[in-house]
Amino acid sequence: MNPVFNQPINISFPDDISLTIKREDLIHPFVSGNKFRKLKYNLIQAKVENQDTLLTFGGAFSNHIAAVAYAGKEQGFKTIGIIRGDELGDKIEENPTLKFAQENGMQFEFVSREDYRLKSENKFIEKLKNKFGDFYLVPEGGTNEFAVKGCEEILTQEDVVFNYVCCAVGTGGTISGLINSSAENQKILGFPALKGDFLQDEIRIFAKQDNWNLISDYHFGGYGKINLELIEFINAFFEKTKVPLDPIYTGKMVFGVIDLIGKKYFPAHSKILLIHTGGLQGVDGMNMKLMQKKLPILKTND
């Protein structure tokens, strides 16, 4: 585990508003950001239960799949990935995420999108146990009580100086951990990467405080969707700050926060902490798509 640090964003904002980004993306070279936090106590629990195999779910460019593969290898687990999309079975070499996971020992089971929707049902899990034997189940995106416990460790005592803590939201585990460890003076703002309001209920399962709100205006059309405006924003932000952003989660959240500053959403003198949840492994795959569409690629290094 590498030390995480808070990096001030040296951009001048109106009303004496300041931005700082917590560089969770630097916590581990391959198990990045919130994936490290979510897996920490799940891996401990798997060992408590004497399990030697981790099974989880994800899509073609899933940060979670890549992280489970590497973390499993690092800690001596076999890993199985149930991948959404049976058409991907013969495309592993063309997919940077799946190739990385396979190189780190993950065994794949490619399923149709229809079957993938059954991933939470007992019958489907039993079928997987009949095929693969016993395993420790890590949910899609990693969110469960152990993941939330890990994400509660993102905020530290030095972070109480911030009025607002902002993060991207996928399955709700990261924001739940932030809510639970936040101080009385803080408001937690989540920026969903997906369309829809179902996340409210998911977060309420784990969240122990009411000091949070979801801002659903910055998903750019839905999960995995991206346009030229977002690409140009991410690249300009990198040029100014040298902080690389992923386009699925953190890039959209940072775009949203800066847009809201311009719209006077935040009171004067607000101190805002942005949580960088990692996800940079997915940029190579996104850049392949952008090149096919003849769009500019995302910059994550000089």
Q: Which of 32, 62, 182, 270 is catalytic?
A: 62
Phi and psi torsions of 166, nearest 5°: -120, 140
Structural contact between residues 190 and 277, judged by C-beta atoms closer than 8 angstroms: no
3-state SS, one letter per residue, for 122-187 = HHHHHHHHHHHCCCEECCHHHCCHHHHHHHCCCCCHHHHHCCEEEEEECCCHHHHHHHHHCCCCCE
The token pair that represents 172 in the structure block: 């709700």
Alpha carbons 75 and 84: distance in angstroms, whole number = 25
Q: Please, which residues have CB within 8 angstroms of residue 77's CB and are 6 or more apart in sequence? A: 43, 46, 51, 52, 53, 54, 71, 136
User: Is 62 one of the catalytic residues?
Assistant: yes
Spatial strand order of the sheet with 78-84 comes to 106-111, 78-84, 53-58, 136-137
Range list of H helices, the chain: 34-48, 63-74, 96-103, 113-116, 122-132, 145-151, 173-181, 199-206, 228-241, 250-262, 283-292
Alpha carbons 131 and 164: distance in angstroms, whole number = 47
**Which residues carry out catalysis?**
62
